Amino acid sequence: MLQDFQPTESYARQLDGQDPLYAFREEFYIPEGTIYLDGNSLGLCSRRAEQSLLLMLESWKQHAIDGWTEGKYPWFYLSEELGARMAALVGAKKEEVVVTGSTTVNLHQLVSTFFRPEGKRTKIVADELNFPSDIYALQSQLRLHGLNPADHLIRVRSRDGRLLDEDDLIHAMTEEVQMVILPTVLYRSGQLLDMERLVKAAHERGILIGFDACHSIGAIPHRFSEWGVDFAFWCTYKYLNSGPGGVAALYVNEKHHGRVPGLAGWFSSRKDKQFDMKHELEHAENAGAFQIGTPHVFSTAPLIGSLEIFAEAGIDRIREKSLRLTRYLMLLIESELAEWGFSIGNPLEDDRRGGHVCLEHDEAVRICKALKAEKVVPDFRAPHVIRLAPVALYTSYHEVWEAVQRLKTIMVEKKYEQYEKVRGVVA
């Protein structure tokens, strides 16, 4: 991959000319003059997402209450319809995915459903590098069972503070563990875990295993059903470009369909029984059972247009370009920035790398401020990580090249020194 690499502008232009996904850039609102490398935090707005949101607003205007069952996208079935469309992105059957809730609400739902401490099996395995929200949720779920998180939440340690070793994760899967919750991709370093191996190891030990796919959905193909993943959950506002606070989604393997949801609500019901208004829940026999409340229609609507784009681009082609973009960025960093103390904190191997590059520097917080002043949008993660996410659907190779040139100028001219070494409220 990129064996003919050259650190030149003409080479970047050449790569753009050969890019089969280049035309999809026109689908997105890219801020003028800005190089946007923060799509792993919030994806850009697409024209189709905008149109599907406006379409849903029009549906409300035209149909009022009848919008639940009328119009192009009846609201009553919207969560299941979009779950079916999203299923291909995680390698699932249509009935195994539903669009609903938020990431943390869905994690609470899944843990409340599947965590059943009994006998020796009273512990949950996670990791010390996980996103804090997941840890907070797991701690609170343990407390609800009267268990002390200090004793019953195992956070597997990283050997280097960047990456996790699958051997260490598997070693933690003892006879005291009932459930494992891990990220598909680590949010700081961008490490892609070997999910297939971890699922096999967990099941061999009689342990349920689920994944937080927030940092992989829309950037990396998955095969959840084939691997036998028990459950998973993810947001849609990063690589899936559903907008700030966009609705989340969850996956439940069909072998668990029929299980009573831990957190039941009106939309857990079978669709044909929901308006019977009985106090005895007849829950759906698919992933729809794990919904709780009424769908947030306007928060869900942008996904209609966004998923159309993914269906046309294809997740395999997206992954291929994403790997090329991140490889190209790493080669430029090594070529152009070696003398300024940067190091690459993500795995270099394609099969272990997610969709972003983890660039480390002691002055990361000030460098990020300088980059934004130079119209390059990165993401800072304490204490010293600059996350750079060239997104396959809208980032060009030339933008990656130009971003590195601007970063090089910042270092040569020491522009970062004019900024305070303190992160903003939102990093």
Catalytic residue among 127, 212, 230, 379: 212
Is residue 300 annotated as involved in ligand binding?
no
Phi, psi of 79 (to 5 degrees): -65, -40
- The first and second tokens of residue 301, run together, are 């609507």
Phi, psi of 47 (to 5 degrees): -65, -35
Sign of the Cα torsion 96, 101, 103, 106 reads negative
CA 423/CA 230 separation, integer angstroms:
38
Q: Is the CB of residue 345 less than 8 Å from the CB of residue 385?
A: yes
HSE, side-chain direction, 13 A CA sphere, residue 33: 5
Q: Is the CB of residue 222 less than 8 Å from the CB of residue 195?
A: yes
Instruction: Say if strands 385-388 and 379-381 run parallel, antiparallel, or are unpaired.
Output: antiparallel
> Catalytic site residue 205?
no
Is residue 8 annotated as involved in ligand binding?
no
Catalytic residue among 123, 162, 188, 238: 238
> Catalytic site residue 120?
no
Is residue 351 annotated as involved in ligand binding?
no
> Catalytic site residue 387?
yes
Is residue 145 annotated as involved in ligand binding?
no
Catalytic residue among 94, 131, 259, 273: 131
CA 314 to chain centre: 17
CA 405/CA 420 separation, integer angstroms:
23
Is residue 63 annotated as involved in ligand binding?
no
Q: In what order do the strands lie in the sheet with 208-212?
A: 97-99, 249-252, 231-234, 208-212, 177-183, 123-127, 153-156
Catalytic residue among 387, 394, 415, 416: 387
Q: In what order do the strands lie in the sheet with 343-344?
A: 343-344, 357-360, 385-388, 379-381
- The first and second tokens of residue 364, run together, are 């990361």
Find all residues with CB under 8 Å of 368, minimum gap 6, and list them: 378, 379, 380, 386
CA 300/CA 12 separation, integer angstroms:
36
Is residue 234 annotated as involved in ligand binding?
no
> Catalytic site residue 237?
yes
Is residue 103 annotated as involved in ligand binding?
yes
> Catalytic site residue 93?
no
Which are the catalytic amino acids?
131, 212, 237-238, 387
- Residues placed in the known binding site: 103-104, 131-134, 212, 215, 237, 266, 294
* Residue numbers belonging to the annotated binding site for pyridoxal 5'-phosphate: 103-104, 131-134, 212, 215, 237, 266, 294
